[in-house]
Amino acid sequence: MNLIVALLFLLQDPAAPPQQPPSTPPPAQEKPPTEGEKARKEWEYSAQVYAYRIREDRDYLQPTFTADREWLHLEARYNYEDHDTASVWAGVNFSIGDKLKLEATPMLGVAVGQTFGIAPGLKATLTWWKLELYTEYEYLIVPSHHEDSFSYSWTELVIYPWEWLAVGGVVQRTKVYQTEWDSQRGFLARVFIKSLEVTFAYFNPTEDPVYVLGLGVSF
């Protein structure tokens, strides 16, 4: 037996490299995204619906859908300018600043339904530290009845004590053609849960209260 082992050792090729254990196969490479997948990732979408509870008036839901890609902003609303009225918007996104940052989107929209009109509008957010000032404004021009034209704004000033919570004050103002501004002031709280946000606003706490409950998602 020892002779056979010795012969096998002598017959082994001295130039042959020592046998190595099998190497671990390289990890599978991820499949590169398709053009359609790239395009979808470049878009940012959001959807919100607000429920308005108004004493001695009609309660209603107000949904809004937005789509953004770089500088382009698209938006659709319902029951915003008037009951049973839809509006579509297009705008341009831009931002300036770092610690004190301004993000703004001038827009142009068209409303159809119970009210028909053309509206220039603006959305703007100014942030510093844990403070945020947000406003959205539009002036709806009703060509057939100028007396129905109006301006409307919603403005929030909130502080973020934690990343998941914003609290502060809110004002909504309406000015119908050739009238004074009608202002409603209240309190606002907003909770963030991953891509979801829940908003509660309470206007006119001393008289004719208005309750607003909102649910939004970003994707």
State the pLDDT confidence band at 28, using cuts at 50, 70 and 90: low
CA of 101: how far to CAs of 70, 137, 153, in Å?
17, 19, 21
CATH for 109: 2.40.160.40
- Find the farthest-apart pair of alpha carbons in the chain and give their distance in angstroms, rounded: 116
- 11, part of any domain: no
- 56, part of any domain: yes
Angle at 200 between CA 82 and CA 196, to 5 degrees: 95
- 46, part of any domain: yes
How many folded domains does the chain comprise? 1
pLDDT at 31 exceeding the cut of 90 = no
| Each residue's pLDDT tens digit, 143-180 | 988 889 999 999 999 999 999 999 999 999 999 988 89
- 27, part of any domain: no
Q: Is the Cβ–Cβ distance between 148 and 115 less than 8 Å?
A: yes
- 107, part of any domain: yes
In the prediction, which pLDDT does 35 show?
57
Task: Please tell me the distance from the alpha carbon of residue 138 to that of residue 89, in angstroms, as a whole number.
Answer: 11
Q: Is the Cβ–Cβ distance between 46 and 218 less than 8 Å?
A: yes
- 61, part of any domain: yes
Domain around 86: 37-218
The pLDDT of 15-31, averaged and rounded, is 52
| Each residue's pLDDT tens digit, 114-128 | 999 999 999 999 999
- 108, part of any domain: yes
- 116, part of any domain: yes
| Each residue's pLDDT tens digit, 51-102 | 999 887 889 999 999 999 999 999 999 999 999 999 999 999 999 999 999 9
